[in-house]
Amino acid sequence: MGEYSKLKGADGFEFGVYRAAPAGARKGGVVVIQEIFGIDEHIRRDVDRWASLGYEAIAPSLYDRREPGFTAGHDAEGMTAGVTHARATPLEQALSDIDACRAAMAAAGKVFVVGYCYGGSLTWLAACEVPGFAAGSSYYGSLVQANADKTPKCPVIIHLGRQDAMIPADEVKAAVQAKNPNVPVYIYEDAGHGFNNEDPQRLNQASAELARQRTLELFAGA
């Protein structure tokens, strides 16, 4: 099980993180980037899962300058609050905090980045703009298509759900591979948005397990 602590950003602000130590020998570090709902139970479980797989894992609370410790439910009210915070949080600030998490684990070896929804967008941007990550795994990020012309600084893979009403999987894949033909973009035919999230209305277990296996293989080979 992980625990909460604080980490100082480049601007001196101390933001919250949920951090878990690896089970057994450390395979690397993983920065886990939240959905729009904050460091909720699903992200905490994901951090704990990465730790159980042998990775030191840390998730930054990216809205803390606006609302410390924010979490929201997966309902209309929570969606509105989460989207509001995400849009009001400068991407440069979020990437800076992600980099602070990377730096906090870098002395112990390789550090990877994985993120979901809002975090999937930030994972793609971090892989392209933040030096020092060994590899990245981006899940259903809505900003990937608009930033598909960027060039990753590390190996990165992208996961999309065919049934995702918010993200046109084929268009995203075409946009990414037009500039970066060697970036794998996986489309999961039976999955919708948030298929890695354990909310029963969103989870697609088979797709989540396959995406995680692909991510583990990427990290192991980086």
85 is catalytic: no
164 is catalytic: yes
Residue 160 forms beta bridges with which residues? Answer: 187
Catalytic residue selected from 117, 128, 154, 159: 117
Answer yes or no: are the C-beta atoms of 30 and 55 closer than 8 Å: yes
Could you tell me which of 30, 54, 10, 55 has the C-alpha nearest to residue 116? Answer: 30
Catalytic residue selected from 42, 85, 159, 193: 193
The burial class, CB within 10 Å (0-12 / 13-18 / 19+), for 145 is middle
Which residues are catalytically annotated?
A: 117, 164, 193
